[in-house]
A and B are shown apart, each in its own frame.
Chain A
Amino acid sequence: MAIPISYNVRSIGARWATAVVSVLGIAGTVGVFLAMLAMARGFQATLQASGSPNNVIILRAGADTEMTSAVNHEQVRIINDAPQIARADDGSPLVSPEVVVIGAFPLMTTGTDANVQIRGVYDRVLEVRPNVRIQEGRFFESGLTELIVGKNAVNTYQGFELGSTIEIGGEIWKVVGVFDSDGSAFDSEVWCDANLLNQTFSRPAGIYQSVTARLGSQDDFTALKDTLTSDPRMTVDVTNERAYYAKQSQAVSTLIRRLGFLVAFVMAIGAVFGALNTMYSAVSARAREIATLRALGFGSFSVVASFVLESILIALVGGVLGCLAVIPLNGFTAGTMNWQTFSHLAFAFKVTPSLMIWGLAFSVFMGFIGGLLPALRAARMPVATALREL
Chain B
Amino acid sequence: MKYLPFILRNLKRKKTRTILTVGSIAVAVFLFGLLIMIETGLNAGVDVAGADRLVVRNRISLIQPLPLSYQERLRQIDHVTEATFASWFGGVYQEERNFFPQFSIDTETYRDVFTEFVIPNEQWQAFSADREGAVVGRSTAEKYEWEIGDRVPIRGTIFQGAWEFNIRAIYEGGTAEADETQFWFHNAYLDERRQWGKGLIGWYTVKIDDPDHAVEVAAAIDERFANSSWETSTETEKDFARGFAQQIGNIRLIVLSIGAVVLFTLLLVTGSAMSTAVRERIPELGVLKTLGFGDGTVLGLVLAESVLIALVGGGLGIGIAKLFALNGDPTNGMLPIFYLGWESMMLAIALSLMVGLLAGAIPALTAKRLKIVDALRRV
A residues at B contact (CB < 8 Å): 17-18, 20-21, 24-25, 28-29, 31-32, 60, 62-64, 67-68, 101-104, 107, 109-110, 112-115, 168-170, 201-202, 251, 255, 258-259, 262-263, 266-267, 269-271, 273-274, 276-278, 280-281, 334-337, 342, 344
Contacts and interface: CB of A to CB of B under 8 A. Distances in A.
Interface in B207-255: 227, 229, 231, 233, 239, 242-243, 246-250
B148 interface: no
Interface hub of B34, B227, B269 (most chain A Cβ within 10 A): B269
B63 A342 contact: yes
Interface stretch (B169-177, B260-268, B300-308, B341-349): B260-268
A168 B59 CA distance: 9
Interface stretch (B16-24, B106-114, B350-358): B16-24
Given A62-B157, A263-B258, A266-B34, A271 B265 contact: yes
Nearest to B160: A62
Contacts of A109: 250
A361 to B, nearest CB: 20
Contacts of B61: 101-104, 115
Contacts of B155: 62
B20 A115 contact: no
A262 B62 contact: no
B331 A28 contact: no
Interface residues of B, number: 54
A-B complex: 5 closest residue pairs judged by Cβ atoms: A112-B243, A273-B24, A270-B27, A336-B249, A104-B61
Interface hub of B227, B242, B246, B271 (most chain A Cβ within 10 A): B246
Interface hub of B28, B97, B243 (most chain A Cβ within 10 A): B243
B273 interface: yes
B334 interface: yes
A62 B163 CA distance: 14
Contacts of B319: none
Contact of B242 (A24, A104, A112, A334): A112
Contacts of B249: 334-337
Contacts of B275: 17
A183 to B, nearest CB: 18
27 contacts: A21-B272, A24-B268, A25-B268, A31-B261, A32-B258, A62-B155, A64-B96, A64-B157, A104-B59, A107-B247, A110-B246, A112-B239, A112-B243, A113-B243, A201-B60, A255-B331, A258-B331, A263-B31, A266-B31, A270-B31, A271-B265, A273-B23, A273-B24, A276-B16, A277-B20, A277-B21, A277-B272
Given A266-B34, A267-B31, A273-B269, A281 B17 contact: yes
Given A103-B61, A273-B24, 8 more contacts: A28-B262, A103-B60, A109-B250, A112-B243, A258-B330, A273-B20, A273-B21, A335-B249
A262 B330 contact: yes
Contacts of A269: 23-24, 27
B50 interface: no
Given A110-B246, A114-B247, A273 B272 contact: no
Contacts of B265: 24-25, 28-29, 270-271, 274
A202 B58 CA distance: 12
B98 interface: no
A274 B242 contact: no
Contacts of A273: 20-21, 23-24, 27, 269
B165 interface: no
Contacts of A28: 261-262, 264-265
Contact of B64 (A201, A276, A336): A201
B238 to A, nearest CB: 12
Nearest to A268: B27
Nearest to A258: B331
A258 B97 CA distance: 15
Contacts of A336: 247-249
A335 B265 CA distance: 29
A187 B155 CA distance: 32
Interface of B: 16-17, 20-21, 23-24, 27-28, 30-31, 34-35, 38, 59-64, 90, 96-97, 155, 157-158, 160, 227, 229, 231, 233, 239, 242-243, 246-250, 258, 261-262, 264-266, 268-269, 271-273, 275-276, 330-331, 334
A68 B196 CA distance: 13
Nearest to A112: B243
A201 B65 CA distance: 10
A389 B317 CA distance: 39
B243 A32 contact: no
B261 A32 contact: yes
A197 B194 CA distance: 24
Given A262-B34, A281-B276, A21 B269 contact: yes
A280 B34 CA distance: 30
B248 A337 contact: yes
A107 B265 CA distance: 35
Interface hub of B97, B248, B264 (most chain A Cβ within 10 A): B248
B63 A280 contact: no
A109 B243 CA distance: 12
Contacts of A258: 330-331
A102 B62 contact: yes
B104 to A, nearest CB: 16
Nearest to A170: B231
B268 A21 contact: yes
Given A201-B64, A276-B20, A114 B246 contact: yes
Contact of B63 (A21, A62, A67, A259): A67
Given A28-B261, A102-B61, A104-B60, A266 B27 contact: yes
Contacts of A114: 243, 246-247
Given A259-B38, A336-B248, A104 B262 contact: no
Contacts of A168: 60
A221 B35 CA distance: 45
Given A25-B269, A104-B60, A112 B246 contact: yes
